[in-house]
Amino acid sequence: MELVFELIFQIFGEILLQVLFELLAELGLRAMADPLRKPRTPAFSVVGYTLWGLIAGGISLFLFPASAIRDPAFRATNLVVTPLAIGAVMALIGKARNKRGQLLVRLDSFGYAYLFAFSMALVRFIWAS
């Protein structure tokens, strides 16, 4: 039973870390949204969100160099599941903001949020101890 709680805590820790970075990135993008009203092409946005995810993963390694998940199989599962979960959460947040008439950024959609989270998770998967 202790093993189950440990695994749940480890996975929850990794998800929480990525959600925190995703929300901080979105806050930063919202702050810059007004000066950057000119729409960007999706190709530039894909490259940009991938780079931001890689950078966030690198920064997270300085703050938390060890992965909360020790088992290699669970770390590989986390690489797939966490970005999907974060993409879904950000899409729901985007849907709620859209209903309120708030300005949306591309991170409020599943695809861009998934890309950011996957890039960050990949860096942590490769380099976190």
Q: What is the pLDDT of residues 67-125, one digit of tens each?
A: 888 889 999 999 999 999 999 999 999 999 999 998 888 888 999 999 999 999 999 99
Residue 101, phi-psi category: left (phi > 0), alpha (psi -120 to 50), beta (remainder): left
Structure tokens at 35: 């000066």
The candidate with the shortest Cα–Cα distance to 22, out of 100, 98, 82, 103, is 82
Residue with tokens 């695809």: 111
pTM for the structure as a whole: 0.74
Q: Are 124 and 59 in contact (CB under 8 A)?
A: no
pLDDT at 30: 59
| 8 Å CB contact between 61 and 127 | yes
pLDDT over 90, % of the chain: 44
Tokens representing 98 are 């859209």
